[in-house]
């Protein structure tokens, strides 16, 4: 669905739309995705009715036009973004640069100031952000953050979503949370229709094209599982890359020349392309945080356990990344895996052995 500033990270998109049936799963060029359609029932529930009325007053014309009836463009569509961290700020910036009116919310307001200084409006809650938008994107850290940000009855984004409005959740989350959200109609707050509505994706294409390519992944949970599979592949690739670099170092090779030599063959990878030089330069700045990757791999392992699936490479990678957390390195980028392998071998690429 979109391309982000975090190389190799993939992000799920959970798309919820009012007055539309269909459970969507989307994957961007560099971000696997999950999407789902959500519809809000007309009355009989006070919260839904009140939120729908308030949001409709802000996003629909006096004729009662449903926002889903309008084409998506900078002239007709207002966008909101919740979660302006490393990835979120960059992706929201693409929308702002394309001319879309943007409202942002972040729990730490200072992290949204870069976008505000470029013309975005700052909301005081996800609900307020959703009420000021026709399409709202979420990019938060953990499944618990998704639950609070989207579902809290007082401040959650869905409480402010207008009829026909769309919520796109790009957080890597637990597929079981997607299933839980799909049961919300029984809680008398929201109606969720699972299926597959290509028209929703087509209508949002102008937004998605600013960030990448959208791919429909299937029914509920499929987008999250596609993302988890992506993380499994990345984890093992990163282990192979840093192990190869430590081997080349201990063997007395020029690691930079070695990386160049293997980059065009079967050992070449996007991880090597994006992180090889940064590792040599000891640049551990986060594009995708270790702590978030540990969360992702933990979800992967839980899914595998539920499936009766044994993936030893995944388990090893998760333990190595957990060791970085134990050393207080959760705020580094995923390329910091080199530190774990160096410690295991009492060596460092920085010095000759």
The CATH H-level superfamily of 14-220 is: NAD(P)-binding Rossmann-like Domain (3.40.50.720)
User: H or E element: which one contains 17?
Assistant: strand 14-17
Phi/psi of residue 80, each to 5°?
Answer: -125, 155
**Domain coordinates in residue numbering, the chain:** 14-220, 225-344
Q: With contact defined as beta carbons under 8 Å apart, do 247 and 238 qualify?
A: no
Please state the three-class secondary structure of 95-114 as a single string. Answer: HHHCCCEEEEECCCHHHHHH
Which residues are known catalytic residues?
Answer: 227
Within this chain, domains 14-220 and 225-344 share the same CATH topology: no
Give per-residue pLDDT as tens, 70-98: 788 999 999 999 999 878 888 899 999 99
Q: What is the DSSP string of 61-100?
A: -TT---GGGSPPSTTT-EEEEE--SHHHHHHHHHHHHTT-
CB 38 within 8 A of CB 167: yes
Question: Residues 236-273: pLDDT tens digits?
Answer: 999 999 999 999 999 999 999 999 999 999 999 999 99
Q: Which residues of the chain have pLDDT under 70?
A: 1-69, 172-198, 200-201, 209, 212-215, 219-220, 353
Residues 6+ apart with CB under 8 A from 5: 86, 87, 90, 91, 287
Architecture of domain 225-344: Orthogonal Bundle (1.10)
Q: Is the dihedral of CA 105, 106, 109, 110 positive or negative?
A: negative
In whole angstroms, what is the distance from residue 9 CA to residue 1 CA?
A: 13
Could you tell me the pTM of the whole model? 0.61
CA 145-149-153 angle, 5° bins = 130
d(CA 14, CA 37): 8
């Amino acid at each position: 669905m979109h391309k982000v500033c975090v190389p190799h990270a993939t992000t799920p998109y959970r798309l919820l739309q009012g007055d539309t049936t269909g459970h969507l799963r989307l994957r961007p060029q560099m971000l696997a995705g999950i999407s789902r359609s959500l519809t809000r029932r007309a009355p009989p529930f006070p919260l839904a009715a009140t939120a729908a009325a308030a949001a409709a007053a802000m996003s629909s014309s006096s004729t009662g036009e449903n926002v889903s009836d309008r084409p998506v463009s900078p002239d007709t569509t207002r966008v909101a973004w919740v979660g302006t961290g490393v990835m979120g700020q960059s992706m929201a910036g693409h929308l702002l640069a394309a001319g879309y009116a943007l409202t942002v919310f972040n729990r730490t307001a200072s992290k949204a100031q870069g976008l505000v200084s470029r013309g975005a409006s700052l909301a005081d809650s996800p609900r307020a952000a959703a009420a000021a938008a026709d399409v709202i994107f979420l990019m938060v850290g953990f499944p618990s953050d998704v639950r609070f940000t989207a579902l809290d009855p007082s401040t959650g984004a869905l409480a402010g979503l207008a009829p026909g409005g769309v919520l796109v959740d790009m957080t890597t989350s637990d597929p079981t949370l997607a299933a839980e959200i799909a049961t919300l109609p029984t809680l008398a707050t929201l109606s969720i229709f699972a299926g597959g509505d290509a028209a929703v994706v087509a209508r949002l294409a102008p937004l998605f094209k600013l960030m990448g390519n959208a791919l429909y992944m299937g029914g509920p949970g499929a987008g999250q599982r596609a993302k988890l599979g992506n993380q499994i592949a990345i984890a093992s690739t990163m282990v192979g890359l840093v192990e190869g670099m430590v081997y080349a170092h201990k063997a007395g090779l020029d690691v930079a020349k070695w990386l160049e030599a293997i980059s065009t063959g079967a050992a070449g990878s996007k991880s090597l392309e994006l992180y090889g030089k940064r590792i040599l330069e000891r640049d551990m700045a986060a594009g995708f945080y270790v702590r978030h990757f540990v969360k992702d791999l933990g979800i992967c392992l839980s899914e595998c356990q539920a499936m009766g699936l044994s993936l030893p490479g995944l388990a090893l990678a998760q333990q190595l990344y957990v060791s970085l957390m134990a050393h207080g390195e959760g705020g580094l980028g995923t390329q910091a895996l080199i530190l774990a392998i160096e410690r295991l071998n009492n060596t460092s690429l920085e010095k000759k052995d």
